[in-house]
Chains A and B, each alone.
Chain A
């Protein structure tokens, strides 16, 4: 990999300033996407601004209605959090299925969401729970955040600082991993709030995480496994590769939504 200037700022402000000053700098959280990409020669930033030393960049806070996870919190911390397990058990479960143990020890929620890998797990939770993503500049609704493959609403230099998840009445996560990479071949995160409103976030199936609105409608009418799994999702627009055709991904969305509806608690 190409060499670069390494920075380890102690504040978000300093990090943003460093990026601005760099020619082609990149923020780094756990580094589990950026470093492999650089090793393959697919990225060669001039500067890496390591966010992991920022003071109070990680942490979990659970209020009556909101789970707030600060950007530097690792997947393992989320998976192990007793508070999250109580408030949104599916969220802890989901974090416990990201990558392998080593990835979970290093990878952060902020990094995962900012990177917006089409097969990453967190985007489905953000959409499925109607999260709000907070940056050093503003708050962005999850529905407006994931804009394309590896593309988000983040502006240049903007840093995610926290993610706020409303606590639903019940929720569930189902993941069908790519057998080789263990990323989500398709993943579904669904929730139902106190008013009966259902959200279904889907990852791995399309270029960007999306909400399966047909399934949401069906589940709002009748919250049951059958109601979710009977919805036929159109294959058009979904990804197709050697591991899964678009038709298979479409089918998995319904199957996983059905299983999630059955498991929701």
Chain B
């Protein structure tokens, strides 16, 4: 066991972890923040996506100890003072979620896509760049709409 320290959603956090503890387990188990989900064990589904130092990564495929001193944002850290992030609001407005399980990862990935591709990101780019996020409910139709709308408002 060793102590790992990082910034999570703007707050300093720390906890005892083993070397093998994954970031997602640190977030869910140690910190009790359960918005970040685990939907697979082969780094494919994207339900666990968080931002580490501003980049969307799969928290199931990174060690907690490797995030020492990192700045981590989860879906819980997006809304500011009761105001939803534009991407969160767009997912609700465009019915971009059904069961909600993939949603946190989708939103975190969507924000990363817009950050790198700009407000006018094309439908093709959105679809291609969501390849690492699987949704079983929506058929992606409204997710793509939501990302476009969220992009415009970001």
Direct contact of A and B (CB under 8 A): yes
Residues on A lying within 8 angstroms of B by beta carbon are 1-6, 8, 31-32, 35-36, 38-40, 48, 50, 52, 76, 80, 99-103, 105-106, 181-182
Residues of B near A2 (CB, < 8 A) are 20
DSSP majority for the A interface? mixed
- Quote the shortest CB–CB distance from A1 to chain B (angstroms): 5
Q: How far is the CA of A135 from the CA of B116 in the complex (A)?
A: 32
Interfacial residues of chain B within 5-39, with CB under 8 A of chain A in the complex: 18-20, 22
Q: How far is the CA of A38 from the CA of B43 in the complex (A)?
A: 12
Q: Is the CB of B41 within 8 A of A39?
A: yes
| Range, interface on chain B | 20 to 34
Indicate which residue in B19, B55, B132 contacts A100 across the interface (CB closer than 8 Å). Answer: B132
Residues on B lying within 8 angstroms of A by beta carbon are 18-20, 22, 41-44, 46, 49, 55-58, 61-63, 65-66, 68, 109, 112-113, 116, 129, 131-133
**Interface CB pairs A-B, < 8 A, 12:** A3-B19, A4-B20, A31-B62, A31-B63, A35-B63, A36-B61, A39-B41, A50-B66, A76-B55, A101-B56, A102-B132, A106-B58
Q: How far is the CA of A103 from the CA of B46 in the complex (A)?
A: 11
Residues of B near A52 (CB, < 8 A) are 66
Residues of B near A35 (CB, < 8 A) are 22, 43, 61-63
Q: How far is the CA of A181 from the CA of B40 in the complex (A)?
A: 13
Q: How far is the CA of A52 from the CA of B62 in the complex (A)?
A: 12
* 7 interchain residue pairs of minimum CB distance: A100-B132, A6-B19, A105-B55, A102-B58, A100-B131, A3-B20, A36-B43
